[in-house]
Structure 1
């Protein structure tokens, strides 16, 4: 805040001396005065100056823009004028088409003969001739030295009909048939490979 009064008040006059007239207050320069104390004509002058400055600045800016546009158009015209002429397309020469025919390859025909397969049949073993024993009543039949056999047995009597398998010591080992009266059937013989003979008990004719 600026003080408009002098820095120091004047000293009082000496006793008995006539009072000096009050000192005149010096006038303040314009830049130290309060802005609201300026007269109206000063405000009007400042407003006119600001408006004139703004109008001058806008006119200068328009001139600068117009100058820049003119420069750009000149450069574009120069570039268009200096452009080289358009080259003319050279005539196109069509290449001649050469057609090459591939040689024909003839495949040789190979004939393969079918393989002949010979099937050999295994040798057939002739069935052994049957051994036939027949009799009437009780008897003992000696068997040949052989393995398992199948015996077909028949009897025409009316009483008991029994057949035993006998071992090496003529001991009874297997009971093959035990019926009453007539009989006809088949039984395995020599299952244990120890049968040497057959013992027959009958009252009529029999066949083994």
Structure 2
């Protein structure tokens, strides 16, 4: 798959970044997730997994803001990775009006509730903090279309598994993507639940 069929605003961002063609693993992954399949995307560092997720998410959300509730929810290991992922999303979405929000356990909780309430398209956070936001009615996840776990090697620590299952039980129709450097029992466990029909894409 080339980038020709992507949203025009997204293609402008890719051109600005001088990205002309997908990497080999992205060519394998993108058509499958673009088709709406749940997927494990497992490949080495540098294979373009997270970038594929970012590009796909922006395309899926039509590269535009819409109403108030988040349509993409992405979980990562810690605050550093939350901030890094937001920065990457901003790079690829700067020609759009998509609202990318990085939650933080270090930032005023009530202010975050207000900022999320007034509308975000993509929300990024750790499993524990996103769960806290949800159970304190600060985050509506009923409109989530894309639910992703990025760099999922951390799963199994800090009660992440239970947090994630609680969230998925509260969502309706959504596409799930798990990004990881290697296949292991921690991510395989989700095949017993909401990832039961997921494709396993390995580089």
RCO comparison, higher one (Cα < 8 Å, 6+): 2
TM-score interval w.r.t. the shorter chain?
under 0.3
Flag the structure with larger Rg: 1
TM-score by length of 2: 0.20
- Answer 1 or 2: which has greater helix percent: 2
Pick the structure with more strand per residue.
Answer: 1
TM-score w.r.t. structure 1 length?
0.19
